[in-house]
């Protein structure tokens, strides 16, 4: 179960890296503010995370351990 969970998390992180540009565009668009009003704290946290360069650096660092040697 632990190995499966690790692989699932790795796949999700890889996918997030692939769609990073789209995610950034989404959270800075005017349409984001419409959704944000219904759940402002969660939306704010998501936006901060997506726009956080340090977080993306950490994701890249973690993924570097999953690459073949």
Q: Considering the domain boundaries, does residue 49 fall inside one?
A: yes
Q: What is the mean pLDDT of residues 19-46?
A: 84
> What is the pTM assigned to this prediction?
0.79
Q: Is residue 7 part of a domain?
A: yes
Number of domains in the chain: 1
DSSP letter string, 32-55: HHHHHHHSHHHHHHHHHHHT-HHH
Q: Looking at the domain assignment, is residue 69 inside a domain?
A: no
Can you give the residue range of the structural domain that contains 36? Answer: 2-64
Mean of pLDDT values over 30-47:
78
Q: Tell me the pLDDT band of 37, cut-offs 50, 70 and 90.
A: low
pLDDT score recorded for residue 38: 62
């Amino acid at each position: 179960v632990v190995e499966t969970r690790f692989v699932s998390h790795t796949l999700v992180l890889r996918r997030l890296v692939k769609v990073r540009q789209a995610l950034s565009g989404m959270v800075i668009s005017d349409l984001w503010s419409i959704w944000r009003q219904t759940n402002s704290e969660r939306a704010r946290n998501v936006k901060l995370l997506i726009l956080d360069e340090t977080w993306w650096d950490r994701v890249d660092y973690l993924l570097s351990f999953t690459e073949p040697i």
